[in-house]
Amino acid sequence: VNTSSASSFNRVYRSAGTSERNTFNAKTTYDLKINDAHTFNFMLGLQAVDYEYKSHWANKKGLLTPNNPQFDLATGDQTSGGSHSWNSQLGFFGRINYNYKENYLLEANVRYDGTSKFPGDLKWRWFPSFSGAWRVTEEPWMESAKDVLSSLKVRGSWGSIGDQSVSNSLYIPTMSLNNSSFIHNGAKDTYYSTPAAVASDITWQEIQTLGFGIDAQLFNKIGITFDWYNRKTKNMIVGAEGLGIGFGTTAPNGNYGDLSTKGWELSLDYGHVFENGFSINVTAGLADAVTTIDRYGSAKSVTGWYNGKTYGEIWGFEVDRLFTKDDFVYDPNGKLVTVKSKDGYNVYQFSDPNMPTQGYLNSGSLIFGPGDVKYKDLNGDGVLDKGASLTEDHGDLTVIGNTTPRYEYNFRVDLAYKGFDFSAFFQGVGQRDMWGSSSVSLPGFNTSDGAMAQTFAGDFWYETIVDGKVVDANYDAFYPRAANCGGSSIFNMQVNDRYLLDMSYLRLKNVTLGYSIPEKVLNKAHINKLRVYVALENFLTFDKLNGLPIDVEEMAGYSSFNSSNYNSGRAGVG
């Protein structure tokens, strides 16, 4: 129950909701063994789940006293409302396991699932899966290799599962009730909104995964595990593409999309206890994956989804260098000469008439001059622009990076000797990019925020002129001249490769040193176990951010307490 009141609203509001979930599971198994060589295991089962939610609310204005919010102590208009939703799922499943002499392992699964979230005969789908493994080192002809190759197993699998995590009424053209501002006979008029378009043939999203793996052990000490997989999400529920502007309402959602993720994982481990009692354990892991959009209607915008798009890609400009004073023409008074570019923008005249102009990227009174960013004219048309921002016409934009972490790795060391123990855990990412979105991650971003990274302040383009002479300058700066670019994709700070943040890193996540007091000492104090230790978290980080005050693991717009547009999506500020 929620209650709120405030003098500014002068109302009392209360809401309540109840939810109920019922789950029923049943299964049966049967084991069969034939001639001590063939082992079978059979399993059948069913699962039923239903969920129901009801809520209501009431609101009354005109509180007599805001400090005592009671419905009987309010004299104004009273409104109320509520909601009721439910969904249910029913599934039948079966599994067969086969084991031949611990050498060959096979498994087959099948599910027949139904959900109330889809219409008619589209509620039900079959989802099969299969897997198998060969324990190579159990073969008689591998006996001679066991001193080196202690264990080797080869695995393979293919399977599909269904995803029905969508709205309960996705295929139903619902209408919402609203109150208008018009009053007739002392009451506000009510009206129903036009129902949105829906796809009547919407059904399950299906996730299919093909995988292969190897498990090996060398010298009974070194473990190696490798997995490769190709995961395809088929019939993704996304908005329809290609509808004209005269369609009249939002595009319906349907099974119009596919994506695939290809990846691999490698892990190593080593453990040994020496004769003097010293023990060491080392583990390491490396993984990578790339997700690609395989089907998404007729979408072609580079800022949205389109066929062939790599998930997380960043489109932007490539930077040539910073403009110098010699790039421009000056009048007899030493002022920059302004001309019209061939695409119709006010620009400062270049000393080289063939140099591409970028007036399209001007911002208000900011016109590109000495110390500003010189972007590359990738399509060679003599002007810098974004074209139509479509896959077939993106002007001088190109893919400059990707926000998805690549080549994620970790390793851990554990040591122990005569009561002392030491552990260190390192974690890192080999490749990840992020475009800055705050005054400490992007130069010229909303300077009114009142903060600036020292990295920017110590290395920007400037010149100091006294009596017509340059007395101080930094022409070889990495960052452009000081300018308030406002947002995160304006003027000098159009998304570009020069100022893209390299978020790859190696971090010492945890290091611990401990000592366990011997039991013979503790027994005198009637203590069973006592260990003292010191630990450090995130103690050391190696990165390529050149001193910018940004956490290398940060995701702009997210925090541990808020996963939606945290701090207006700004990175590096709390």
pLDDT, position 566: 55
For residue 288 the two structure tokens come to 């990578």
Residue tagged 């002479």 (tokens): 469
Residues contacting residue 495 through CB under 8 Å, at least 6 positions apart: 314, 315, 316, 317, 400, 435, 488, 489
Kindly report, residue by residue over 512-539, the tens digit of the pLDDT: 999 999 988 888 888 989 999 999 999 9
pLDDT, position 113: 96
Q: Does residue 180 surpass a pLDDT of 80? A: no
pLDDT, position 556: 64
Mean pLDDT for 184-192 is 76
Which of 549 and 488 is assigned the larger pLDDT?
549
Kindly report, residue by residue over 450-464, the tens digit of the pLDDT: 778 899 999 999 999
Strand pairing partners for 222?
Answer: 218, 270
Distance of CA 517 to the CA centre of its chain: 45
What is the percent of the chain with per-residue pLDDT over 70, rounded to a whole number? 95
pLDDT, position 196: 82
pLDDT, position 452: 82
Q: Let me know: does 553 contact 572? Beta carbons within 8 Å.
A: no
* Nearest alpha-carbon partner for 126 in 208, 200, 24: 208
β strands within 388-484, DSSP E = 398-402, 406-417, 420-431, 433-434, 463-466, 469-473
At position 289, the amino acid (one-letter code) is A
Strand pairing partners for 254?
Answer: 238
Measure Cα distances from 552 to 436, 456, 500, 504, 538 in Å.
12, 18, 13, 7, 11
Q: Which of 69-73, 209-213, 297-301, 562-566 has the lowest mean pLDDT?
A: 562-566
Provide the 8-state DSSP code for 496.
B
Kindly report, residue by residue over 136-149, the tens digit of the pLDDT: 999 999 999 989 99
Mean pLDDT for 8-34 is 91
Measure Cα distances from 110 to 114, 116, 135, 143, 221 in Å.
13, 20, 25, 37, 38
Q: Does residue 151 surpass a pLDDT of 80? A: yes
Q: How many residues does the chain have?
A: 574
pLDDT, position 112: 97
pLDDT, position 8: 46
pLDDT, position 569: 58
Q: Does residue 182 surpass a pLDDT of 90? A: no
* Nearest alpha-carbon partner for 317 in 368, 385, 371, 370: 385
Mean pLDDT for 410-426 is 97
Distance CA 107, CA 43 (A): 11
For residue 86 the two structure tokens come to 């439910």
pLDDT, position 148: 94
pLDDT, position 486: 76
Mean pLDDT for 148-162 is 96
pLDDT, position 5: 45
Counting other chains too, the contacts that 482-485 makes at CB distance below 8 Å and 24 or more residues apart are 482/444, 483/366, 483/372, 483/444, 484/444, 484/446, 484/447, 484/448, 485/363, 485/366, 485/443, 485/444, 485/445
For residue 461 the two structure tokens come to 């383009």
Q: Does residue 554 surpass a pLDDT of 90? A: no
On average, the pLDDT of the chain sits at 90
- Confidence tier at 488 by pLDDT (50, 70, 90): confident
For residue 81 the two structure tokens come to 């409302």
Q: Does residue 7 surpass a pLDDT of 50? A: no
Q: Does residue 72 surpass a pLDDT of 70? A: yes
Kindly report, residue by residue over 272-288, the tens digit of the pLDDT: 999 999 999 999 999 99
Residue tagged 């960043």 (tokens): 314
